[in-house]
A and B are shown apart, each in its own frame.
Chain A
Amino acid sequence: MKFTFAPESRPLDGFTIKRAIARGGFGEVYYALTDSGKEVAIKLLQDNLEVELRGVTQCLNLKHPNLVTLFDIKQDTDGDHWIVMEFVGGKTLDRVVHEHPNGLPFDEVLAWLDGIAAGIGFLHDRGIVHRDLKPANIFRENGIVKVGDVGLSKFIAPSRRSAHTQSVGTVYYMAPEVAKGRYCREVDVYSLAVILYELVTGKVPFDGETTAEILMKHLTERPNLSPISANLRPVFEAALEKDPQRRTSDVLELARQFRAAATHLGTSEALQVGNVALGTESGSEFHEIHAERLRICSQLRDLLDQARKLETSADRDRTWSQKQPQIVELVQQVRDIRANVFQRDERLWDYSAEGTFSSLVAIADKFHKLASPRLPILDDAHTQPHEKPAAVTPTPQRPSMFPNPKRPASRWEKACYATGRSVSGSLSLWQRHPLLLIGAAVAILIWTLPRGVSANVMSAGRGLSFLWVVLGVVITIELFRGVSRGVDWLFLTERSSSTENHERSTGHGHQKPRQQRMAESSSWIRAAAFRVVNPNSVREISWRRRITELSGSLATAGLATALVTAVLAYVTQFFGSTALVGQFAVGTLLGSWGLLIVSKLREGLPRERYIDRMLLAGVGVLVGVALFELDGWLMIDLPTDGWSQKQSLLAMTSTSLSDNPQHILAESYVAFFATLFFFRRWWWHTDSFRAHRFRVLSVCLTAIVGAVAACAWGFPVLWGTVWAASLSSVVQLAAVWTPREQRQ
């Protein structure tokens, strides 16, 4: 909805508009404060007709609690007229009806009806017809119903305004004779009957696609009274009569008839008639039930008061355990009352009774807890048989995920290795927590799906373009490598002694026959694998074993991610909000899964380090895209730390730098993860033949790479560093590790 006047504008001297309230049929309504702070509603009259102004002027001095008070009419500098009136907070009847699609509870209907009828009846008594009665014009504040737009609706005939500009909201409540230009007070009776019908059933009697259709129904169609109970039907029939001469003549009369008919509804009928009886009751039964409810409530309250007295009584000589039997007795009494009530009629048990009941149970609970240490009998008799066994039952011996490397391998373990089976217990963990993986997978799916497809495709496109850039860099470097091996440091290679040994030995390799060198392949490292087993060692690993170990690792990665995130969240207060915790955990989990999957599938195969790096970078791109999408979905901001995007490499590659330094671009996400995954030899973190199960040095190096990558791509440096370190830790914790002596 667009409004003409902006907040803080002062079209009228002395009034400051704070916000728009609504747009009615006759103009825009604003909430405004006078210079001294009085709150008022001001309404701009858009069609500035003399006759309309006269109508309002007539009503200017009417006073009734159920009518919105008019204060004044003012003219602004442009000559437009404004009505200054009482500001009424609270919900409009329109909103209330929306919240009760099946109709309002019976006592609510009566409360609204009485207020409206009193206000309109007063108007009629003063010789004024409202003519635009509708739920959007009716308010209730502090329990008092107020009818608005008094005196404004001079000529609302559709003949004067075209059927297109007429708002449908008005037409629903418009009496048929209005189309012929007749406005007697029966118009208001008809409108009130329509409103009443809507309050009772939740629907208007005449609905349609267009204004013309609804008008036609008002003129010709008989209202469908089947959702209304039989006692009330004559009331509606008379009030919704097409001919104003035969219609109920007065709103107060309508209210009286409705109340009388409702009060004489029989019990059985009240239950079978549709919506009037929904969750509530009608007529005389209503009063009986109400009285009975009050009686039950006061009974319950007495018991609760006794319990509260016991709870707070200061007599020190009686311990909690001595008081407890009394409380137990009170609870028993209340339980009896409740059982009794439910046996008779469950409608007698209302919310307030339930509230009192639960308060009493809570007190009894407290007594039980406080008294228990001194009431060993109660403990033994009640709590132990239920609670003890669970605690005593030895937890099933779970095979250690991380077998102690100093412990000599058991015969079973050796046998497992010989047959290529997993010894790590990962299978059993996987079996025990299948939901862990499924749950995470579903969560990721849900997180990524709701965004529009076009945005996803765009991000993926960006990601691919970055992958392409990275590829270009790699090819360049590889070419350069051919010229000089000096650039090896770029990749922060942790050279194992074996590699160096091997390089030394290949220094003497000139004597070797040419064919033999060809057979060893161009990879120098592979030859070393025959002497020292390390992640570069070529070995045969069955698919079954890969999958088994991988599933175990993925599950463990979930646990490790949870652990790392929990430590960061609770020990260091790293995260500013819950959403950030989610973003971090999902990033760590996705990243570690990607790394683990690629490494596991490539484990033992002849090492082609650039293929590995490219695969990992690709995974990095996917992780980056996923996290960017999640970022957008959660609408979060990673805390930035001074390193501007404009100083980063991104400024050269991207033309659309964000004007918000808090907002991380898709390019930043993708490039950061691609770089991080590319420039580390992750297989040294994940391979089962890595030198150590967990190397702190690896974590530190990864953190440094993360920091550099974050700086380079305008990613938050702190988050980049911490994310890199967490990935390294999680991956090392999760990956299967074979002790050196068991490697073959």
Chain B
Amino acid sequence: MLSFLRHPPIVSRPATQGAMSAIWIDGVGCFWLSLKDRVTIGGPGTPSAKPDEPRESADLAILSDLKQRHATIVRNGEGYLLEAHGSARVAGREVLDRTALNDGAIIELGRSVRLRFRQPSALSLSARLDFVSDHRPTQSVDGVVLLADTCLLGSGEENHIVCHDWLGQILLVRQGLELWCRSRQALTVNGHRLGSGRRLQSGDVVSGEESRFRIEIPN
């Protein structure tokens, strides 16, 4: 009846490697941001036969002995589910088909990959995956933010990306497939003063008094 009130549906992009945005934060680390409602996790996959064809791999391809598509993390309206396609355990229990993910749950994939699922902020549906075992994607990544609505950056544990020694908080807000940046402190984007908010484009460098980060958004 009130379908006109609905937000435009979120179009998910094809799963190619590098479909995630990356945020490089000075003094903190590198985090990946995923806007998709379904994030597949798997091993590095095999290079495809044709050289020009993109390499088939999971959204989060970890250098490990996992299957190419080992598990999928699905976001629905209220929370997150883990769908297992290979052997997976959540909080010590075998996942036969799918299971709900709660804050702090340890996801064990295959023989040795361990991830921690965190939903640090009660005000946001966004979640974060921490690497507990020493398995990483091809480059070192400190965590993967599953960005539902907002991504908080700040010094407290309630932030999706914990930036020790930061004084203020910066907020990344999702508008469809766009990312906006907001903060209470004075920020500059590529040297220009940020007003009350701004849409981030790939390669933007956001600087605060003590903070600086660069964001890379794939096309």
Interface of A with B (CB < 8 Å)? 1-3, 6-8, 18-22, 31, 33, 37, 39, 87, 89, 95, 98, 141-143, 308, 355-356, 358-359, 362, 568, 571-574, 576-579, 582, 632, 634-637, 639, 658-660, 662-663, 718, 722
Chain B residues with CB below 8 A from A658, complex form: 195-197
**With contacts A33-B139, A577-B149 known, is A7 near B214, CB below 8 A?**
yes
Contact B124 A577 (CB under 8 A): yes
B136 to chain A, nearest CB (A): 8
The B156-201 residues at the A interface (CB cut-off 8 A) are 164-165, 169, 171, 173, 175, 180, 182-184, 195-198
Contact B92 A359 (CB under 8 A): yes
B44 to chain A, nearest CB (A): 14
18 A–B contacts, CB within 8 A, in A order: A1-B26, A1-B165, A2-B210, A7-B212, A20-B27, A37-B139, A308-B94, A362-B93, A574-B6, A576-B7, A577-B124, A577-B149, A578-B123, A579-B123, A658-B197, A660-B180, A660-B197, A722-B5
CA distance A576 to B173 in the complex (A): 11
B216 to chain A, nearest CB (A): 9
Chain B residues with CB below 8 A from A662, complex form: 173, 175, 180, 196-197
Contact B93 A359 (CB under 8 A): yes
Say which residue of A31, A637, A659, A663 sits within 8 Å of B175 (CB atoms). A637
Chain B residues with CB below 8 A from A6, complex form: 205
- Chain A CB within 10 A, most for which of B6, B26, B182, B205: B26
**With contacts A637-B180, A663-B197 known, is A19 near B25, CB below 8 A?**
yes
A345 to chain B, nearest CB (A): 24
Contact B150 A579 (CB under 8 A): yes
Say which residue of B142, B182, B183 sits within 8 Å of A637 (CB atoms). B182
Interface of B with A (CB < 8 Å)? 2-3, 5-7, 24-30, 77, 92-94, 122-125, 134, 136, 138-140, 142, 148-150, 164-165, 169, 171, 173, 175, 180, 182-184, 195-198, 203, 205, 210, 212-214
- Chain B CB within 10 A, most for which of A355, A573, A637, A639: A637
Chain A residues with CB below 8 A from B195, complex form: 658-660, 663
Contact A579 B124 (CB under 8 A): yes
Chain B residues with CB below 8 A from A355, complex form: 92
Contact A574 B149 (CB under 8 A): no
Contact A578 B149 (CB under 8 A): yes
Contact A141 B134 (CB under 8 A): yes
Contact A1 B125 (CB under 8 A): no
A730 to chain B, nearest CB (A): 17
**With contacts A355-B92, A577-B148 known, is A19 near B214, CB below 8 A?**
yes
Contact A663 B196 (CB under 8 A): yes
A10 to chain B, nearest CB (A): 14
**With contacts A660-B197, A663-B195 known, is A635 near B24, CB below 8 A?**
no
Closest 3 CB pairs of A and B: A577-B149, A663-B196, A7-B214
Contact B140 A87 (CB under 8 A): yes
A569 to chain B, nearest CB (A): 9
Chain A residues with CB below 8 A from B149, complex form: 576-579
Chain A residues with CB below 8 A from B197, complex form: 637, 658, 660, 662-663
Chain B residue at smallest Cβ distance from A580: B149
A227 to chain B, nearest CB (A): 26
Contact B196 A3 (CB under 8 A): no
Chain A residues with CB below 8 A from B183, complex form: 635
CA distance A551 to B164 in the complex (A): 46
Contact B2 A572 (CB under 8 A): yes
Chain A residues with CB below 8 A from B94, complex form: 308
Contact A37 B26 (CB under 8 A): no
Contact B25 A637 (CB under 8 A): no
CA distance A267 to B124 in the complex (A): 48
CA distance A141 to B135 in the complex (A): 11
CA distance A411 to B88 in the complex (A): 68
Chain A residue at smallest Cβ distance from B191: A6
Contact A3 B212 (CB under 8 A): yes
**With contacts A7-B24, A362-B93, A659-B195 known, is A635 near B5, CB below 8 A?**
no
CA distance A355 to B89 in the complex (A): 13
B17 to chain A, nearest CB (A): 13
CA distance A574 to B7 in the complex (A): 7
B26 to chain A, nearest CB (A): 4
10 additional A-B residue pairs with CB within 8 Å, beyond A572-B5, A658-B197, A663-B196: A19-B28, A31-B24, A356-B92, A573-B5, A573-B7, A635-B171, A659-B196, A660-B196, A660-B198, A663-B195
Contact A635 B3 (CB under 8 A): no
Chain A residues with CB below 8 A from B203, complex form: 8
CA distance A639 to B198 in the complex (A): 14
Contact A572 B6 (CB under 8 A): yes
Chain B residue at smallest Cβ distance from A579: B123
CA distance A333 to B212 in the complex (A): 56
Contact A7 B205 (CB under 8 A): yes
**With contacts A359-B93, A579-B149 known, is A1 near B196, CB below 8 A?**
no
Chain B residues with CB below 8 A from A8, complex form: 203, 205, 214
Contact A572 B214 (CB under 8 A): no
A25 to chain B, nearest CB (A): 16
**With contacts A1-B27, A3-B26, A572-B3 known, is A39 near B184, CB below 8 A?**
no
Contact A39 B139 (CB under 8 A): yes
A130 to chain B, nearest CB (A): 24
